[in-house]
Amino acid sequence: MQIFSWMIKVFFVGLLMLLAAGCTVTTREVGSDEKVIYDEGYHFSDKKAIVDAMVTSLLSKHPLLRTTDRPVLIIYGIANRTSEHISTSAMTDDMRQALLTSGRVRFVNKIQRENIERENSYQYAGNVAAETRIQKARQIGAKYMLTGTLRSMEKKQPRQFRLKKKTLMYYSLNMELTDIQTGLIEWADSAEVVREASKPFMGW
């Protein structure tokens, strides 16, 4: 009888220790190249894969393949047409960085246009020495415009008796490089991510 009581005590102590271990906060470093996926949704590793694929395609195909004059590009953003709040500017920021690092293209800073204008006005307001002022009308116009659309499609398993529900998620990013002078699309490509995940109906 005493052994039985002792075993029960050990069991409860073990259970408490297990619960305590489960409640502790844990952290670990995750490498930016590491693929960490919790569900079928969009993850940072998807962004990296999509950006890499697009940059490689853009630099290895016409019109940027054989350019030597470092053409000037402007990014007009990626339209988010998915059913999730995804920051597409994070994608274009990474693309711009990778393209600049390649040394083959240059970018107009569209986001800072208002600030450039403000600084311009300040310099000509009489506070800045004439010889150090920037010259007006010396900005460089963009030759190409980089735009894109991120779309998603979701397919859920139909209702039936089961313990888990599967979801299939499809993301596609279509990007285009348009010659601003001619209006012609000079380059277009797409990258896709397809993922299936299952979620339990019940939990503790």
Binding stretches for other proteins (CB under 8 A): 79-85, 88, 154, 165, 199-204
Work out how close the CB of 44 gets to other proteins at its nearest, in angstroms, rounded to a whole number. 18
- Pick the closer one to other proteins by CB: 23 or 129: 23
Q: Which spans in 82-199 are helix H?
A: 88-102, 113-122
Q: Is the dihedral of CA 191, 196, 202, 204 positive or negative?
A: negative
State which residue, 16 or 100, has the beta carbon closest to other proteins.
16
CB of 40 to other proteins, least distance (A): 12
Q: Select 85 or 138, whichever has its Cβ closest to other proteins.
A: 85
Query: Can you tell me the distance from the alpha carbon of 175 to that of 41, in angstroms, rounded to the nearest whole number?
Result: 21
Cβ-based burial of 177 (10 A; exposed 0-12, middle 13-18, buried ≥19): buried
- Do 140 and 72 contact (CB within 8 A), yes or no? yes
Q: For other proteins, give the closer residue by CB, 153 or 194.
A: 153
Long-range contacts of 132-135 (CB under 8 A, 24+ apart): none
Q: Shortest distance, CB of residue 81 to other proteins, whole angstroms?
A: 7
CB of 152 to other proteins, least distance (A): 9
CB of 201 to other proteins, least distance (A): 6
What the block records as the tokens of 93 is 């920021």
1 versus 129: smaller Cβ distance to other proteins: 1
